[in-house]
A and B are shown apart, each in its own frame.
Chain A
Amino acid sequence: MLRFILTRVSLIIPTFLGITLLAFFLIRLVPGDPIETLAGERGIDPARHEQLRKEYGFDQPVIVQYGIYLSRVLQGDLGKSMITQEPVLTEFSALFPATVELALCAIVFALLIGLPAGMLAAIRRNSIFDHGVMGVSLTGYSMPIFWWGLILILIFSVQLDLTPVSGRIDVLYYIEPTTGFLLIDTLLSDEEGAFWSAVKHLILPTIVLGTVPLAVIARMTRSAMLEVLGEDYIRTAKAKGLSRFRIVALHALRNALIPVVTVIGLQVGVLFTGAILTETIFSWPGVGKWLIDAIFRRDYPVLQGGALLLGIVVMAVNLLVDLTYGLINPRIRHNR
């Protein structure tokens, strides 16, 4: 097990370097001069342009710029946003909890519906229920997020008046961020009704962001379950006269979960990508929206820093998933 952990952890260094390289050079491939963008609509005179280029270090060869950037990153300095002049890390830490809160709710939503649906579909293979679940999940998987979000807003907010349109909480509440997780902060505050307002605001974005992972988890659970249900030990369990519930819930599910756990880990990346669109539709103040703005404004420090930080988070989650995988699957634990 120790060796497994060590191998896995040692992979982090090259991955980290890879992310810095990609984040740094990809944005520079996008046409557009950050100084021009900074100057706004009416352009900038050449002398001042040059002066600003120097100030930001853009006059140096790209490879030197990368060296400087990397050495600063290693010292924990991600730079300042060119637009707001705030440190990248400060902005990230103010916005990240909102993204995590939404992503956690979305994944819980996906698991709560996806797992049982996948299991039932496997048990009742080829039934109407099975076809229904697979059809719905295929639709969910191919759902354009933007459209899906707007449709839900139109139906549930505008027509039925059940949920608020967008935002994290009703504007009448002012909650001082303590943890940054609004569900927790509202519980800590004395404001009556604030918590439920936060919950109501979470419903639609959770559904929208959770739709794709839900579809993936349902399909994955079904196929993993089908495979496991055909195994010898299930037949043995049946022969022993165990109840159907015990067979499925105890024997089959535990083994079927192994690939599902990996998929959940991979979905973290998907959740962050989905967050970009979901956050824009629902005016959710998270890192997705922040990064999109940075792309449009060619805010190099924010893009580099933001991509790096998100990369680290995805890496950490996947490492955790791999370790869990080792825990639940003895074959990996014993390094075979």
Chain B
Amino acid sequence: MKKSALFAAICVPAFLAAAPLAAKTLVYCSEGSPENFYPGINTTGTSFDVNEHIYDNIVDFERGGTKVVPGLAEKWDVSADGTVYTFHIRKNAKFHSNKGFKPTRNLNADDIVFMFERQWKEENPYFKVTSPNHSYFNDMGMPKLLKSVEKVDDYTVKITLNQPEAPFLSNLAMQWAGVQSKEYADAMLKAGTPEKVDQDPIGSGPFFLVNYQKDAIVRFKAFPEYWGGKAKIDDLVFAITPDASVRWAKLQKGECHVMPYPNPADIEAIKKDPNVTLMDQAGLNIGYLAYQTTKKPFDDVRVRKAFNMAMNKKAIVDAVFLSSGVPAKSPIPPSMWSYNDSVKEDEYNPEAAKKLLAEAGYPNGLETDLWAMPVQRPYNPNARRIAELMQADLAKIGVKAEIKSFEWGEYRKRAQAGEHQMAQLGWTGDNGDPDNFLHTLLGCASAQSASGSNIAKWCHKPFDDLVTKAKVVTDQAERTKLYQQAQVIFKEQAPWFTVAHAVQLKPVRKEVVDFKLSPFGRHTFYGVDLKDK
């Protein structure tokens, strides 16, 4: 009885004492917990958001953009043939310290080489620590691309590639290439606790980790010795808040300053709140319906074109995306360099579609499947609903489409194997390079692989030649031309019905100064300030 009396006393409602105010603390209501503190094996944006503050990369994306700017490397040289990159590492990048480790030296070439070798060489003692599954390193084709990574001197690293690869720099700016301290790694290996490196992280980024409580909070402090200058805020807190409506309630009350992924139902209220700004930006993504071009009837371009004309894109986007999407006519988003705005959109015209279908040999229509993803994604908030709208539109030209779905992992696997006739899918860009859309999603290499992302299985030589050439040319103006031509061919050949580019909406409180939306959907708070209320 005593025990319950004690608890009763404690649980009785009490509205007392306001909390003390800290210097400049920015609270971000994040949506979940990070997997761990090793970006090399992370696959979720949630983890990247956390690790981006702790670690630095050789090169970075400019804040709020996709342009590659110097990071740990002050400058770099590329050989004329585009296969040798020499990076000159800045000498003033310092590592954080924690209870168990104090660094004795600044960041240097050894750390850069360690970042590569840990993910690349199986004999590296850290290859298997925490996990051997270096997803992005593999996905970006690094094992095949890298010939050697050498330390020339303490502050110079030379990377030789097997063939020229224009997006290489952009790839290095991605989070998987965050640099850890080799000195720390060696010390922990010696102490017999290598996993500590990924649990109590030490990086050279603008913030250092103070503490992490799973599902509750990630707490950072600005690193005063950061090479780019101390952050404008003193403390950064990620208050982990999984429910979107609760995040909104917290933002309204000022319990946090920035929140991701608002609930569509709350958007109207968010727009009306005088203390909150709703920032928006078309994201680097695309939601699409892929036709399996190696299967009948979609091996015929006329059928694909007819389908593209039969579906009312605007109505679909209006009904399903509400204010969070814009109709797409190209596989790459308008904000990406080389976007070709002169490409003509297939007009919505069921009559013409019906005629074209008859021309292709289907005067009485046809039957097909139509796959709908079982999950919600920014580029496709409701695949089932979209499928239903498409089904209704297609019925008007005599096409009977049967909607199918599978468990998500199964869905992807089957779609990548090309088991569908029509399947919805989408993509969020990794590195801001058109190659990451046009070659990765529509190139022949990825059509021929059983686990490739080209689920239209579309391998069209004129298109593939262009995007493969653009991969090895380093001059951006020339690459732009190539990609713009490729988009024209894409539209003529119609391997996809491009649905929409999702717009990312970010409610931010008005006291937050200079927060920039990242085209990659990341949330970065270096450079952000808070003004007094």
Contacts and interface: CB of A to CB of B under 8 A. Distances in A.
A120 interface: no
Interface stretch (B13-21, B354-362, B507-515): B13-21
A285 B216 contact: yes
Given A84-B36, A171-B27, A171-B237, A206 B11 contact: yes
B4 interface: yes
B83 interface: no
B191 interface: no
Contacts of B428: 41
A170 interface: yes
B138 A48 contact: yes
B272 interface: no
A281 B428 CA distance: 28
Interface residues of A, number: 71
A52 B43 CA distance: 16
Given A39-B43, A165-B246, A192 B8 contact: no
Nearest to B25: A172
Interface of A: 31-33, 36-46, 48, 52, 55, 83-86, 91, 94-95, 98, 104-105, 108-109, 111-112, 150, 153-154, 157-158, 161-168, 170-174, 177, 183, 192-193, 196-197, 199-200, 202-203, 206, 280-286, 289-290, 293, 298
B492 interface: no
Given A48-B138, A166-B241, A197-B19, A33 B215 contact: no
B450 A46 contact: yes
B402 to A, nearest CB: 20
B451 interface: yes
Contacts of A45: 138, 449, 451
Interface string B316-360: 000000000000000000000000000000000000000000000
A193 B18 contact: yes
B442 to A, nearest CB: 15
Contact of B25 (A154, A171, A290): A171
Contact of A154 (B18, B131, B249): B249
Contacts of B123: none
Contact of A38 (B16, B18, B133, B215): B133
A283 B240 contact: yes
Contact of A283 (B16, B211, B216): B216
Q: Which of A39, A164, A203 has the most CB of B within 10 A?
A: A39
Nearest to B245: A150
A161 B253 contact: yes
B250 interface: yes
A36 B413 contact: yes
Interface string B437-477: 00000000000011101000000000000000000000000
11 contacts: A33-B410, A36-B412, A44-B451, A171-B237, A172-B19, A174-B211, A193-B20, A282-B246, A285-B216, A285-B240, A293-B32
Interface residues of B, number: 67
Nearest to A199: B14
Given A41-B428, A163-B15, A283-B240, 9 more contacts: A32-B409, A39-B135, A55-B132, A85-B130, A150-B246, A165-B246, A171-B239, A199-B10, A285-B240
B135 to A, nearest CB: 6
Give the 5 A-B CB pairs with smallest separation, nearest first.
Answer: A40-B43, A36-B409, A285-B215, A285-B216, A31-B407
Contacts of B413: 33, 36, 43
A196 B20 CA distance: 12
Contacts of B21: 172
Given A32-B409, A40-B43, A108-B4, A283 B19 contact: no
B214 A94 contact: yes
Given A36-B409, A40-B43, A42-B453, A165 B216 contact: no
B43 A105 contact: no
Contact of B252 (A95, A104, A158): A158
Given A32-B409, A108-B11, A193-B19, A166 B451 contact: no
A283 B250 CA distance: 11
B412 A43 contact: yes
A56 B521 CA distance: 32
B422 to A, nearest CB: 19
A281 B412 CA distance: 30
Contacts of B27: 171
A32 B19 contact: no
A253 to B, nearest CB: 13
A199 B133 contact: no
Nearest to B449: A45
A298 B19 CA distance: 39
A32 B407 contact: yes
A280 B133 contact: no
Contact of A31 (B139, B241, B243, B410): B410
Nearest to A38: B133
A165 B249 contact: yes
B154 to A, nearest CB: 33
B410 A85 contact: no
Nearest to B219: A174
Contact of A105 (B10, B199, B242, B245): B10
A171 B217 contact: yes
Nearest to A210: B11
